[in-house]
Structure 1
């Protein structure tokens, strides 16, 4: 839909006389718009009639539990309207990594890794939030590769 609207605008502007450099600039801006993926820079948490915006760099991890999705920061847990799958698509994969079917972790918050039973691994967060998050067996190798450990 966005592409259709952009092309309609280009077509409308094409009816007016335009120099070659103007076209080139417009096409470059249009291409840049579609080239650069846009990821969320904050998450919206609704409480009653209020919406609290949580910057994604404050989010240590996002977890689905008890039929809800939570963004966990150093000091609070914020209930979100989106599913974990939706958030995984909308959050920058360079920042958030799925370590478990129910957990996306902010890689910048990973403080250490340690062995967990059953061939699994656990991630301990750094800073004020020192939660231990279990990494599912099938995500251990990709996580180590992502962190440059494999």
Structure 2
């Protein structure tokens, strides 16, 4: 009887994965925690102005707590109107070097989102952060638009 129950549980997991449109590889992904974010893996922000002095709120770092095979960046517009979002994503390595993996300026309708990736880990390099940047002084019309972001590391 337990074998049948185990088969049903396995079938149930496979069905959920298939219905959700996820491959088994996607099912083994984990949210990365934002640096200084209090534990919630999904960060909600608004594009702020460029500043001559000080820092913008454009950058959000997600901590890589162990080695992963790939990374996926997730973006969702939280604005109430169609908006342009300058988006960049970087892998930041333990030696301080980085690799840009996203450089786009897509337009999203309210509630619309997108997954960027998967981006494979770089052989021989250890990632320490995934940096998600939303905002640009080249696109001042994007100021004030809201969004939600997250990053997953995948086995």
The normalised TM-score by structure 2 is 0.28
Structure showing greater Rg: 1
Q: Whose RCO is larger (CA < 8 A, sep 6+)?
A: 2
